[in-house]
């Protein structure tokens, strides 16, 4: 199974609270809900998560908001 999911959550200013320590950035603060959905849909345990930073060419965007992520699941389901 391959799940290809693209999120375009829209622009946030670099000083937005999502990018603060409390917000955790877009990966921790927002994409975590997508990972939870993938776990539900696959009914499998996560083996590995790899997140790759994408560095914007302009200073307009935060470096904490642009990334690509791969989630590797176990072949054998672990949920009943």
SS (H, E, C) the chain: CCCCCCCCCCCCCCCCHHHCCCCCHHHHHHHHHHHHHHHHHHCCCEEEEEEEECCCCCCCCCCCCCEEEEEEECCCCCCC
Q: Is residue 67 part of a domain?
A: yes
Q: Is residue 52 part of a domain?
A: yes
Query: pLDDT tens digit string along 5-36?
Result: 888 888 888 888 888 888 888 888 788 899 89
Query: pLDDT tens digit string along 30-71?
Result: 888 998 999 999 888 888 889 888 887 877 777 777 888 889
Q: Is residue 10 part of a domain?
A: no
Residue pair 72/39 in contact by the 8 Å Cβ criterion:
no
Q: Is residue 27 part of a domain?
A: yes
- Show the domain range for 23: 17-73
The count of structural domains within the chain is 1
């Amino acid at each position: 199974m391959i799940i290809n999911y693209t999120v375009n959550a829209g622009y946030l200013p670099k000083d937005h609270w999502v990018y603060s320590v409390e917000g955790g950035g877009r990966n921790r603060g927002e994409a975590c809900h997508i990972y939870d959905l993938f776990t539900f849909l696959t009914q499998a345990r996560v083996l590995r998560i790899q997140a790759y930073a994408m560095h914007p060419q302009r200073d307009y965007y935060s470096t904490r908001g642009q990334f690509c992520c791969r989630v590797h699941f176990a072949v054998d389901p672990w949920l009943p």
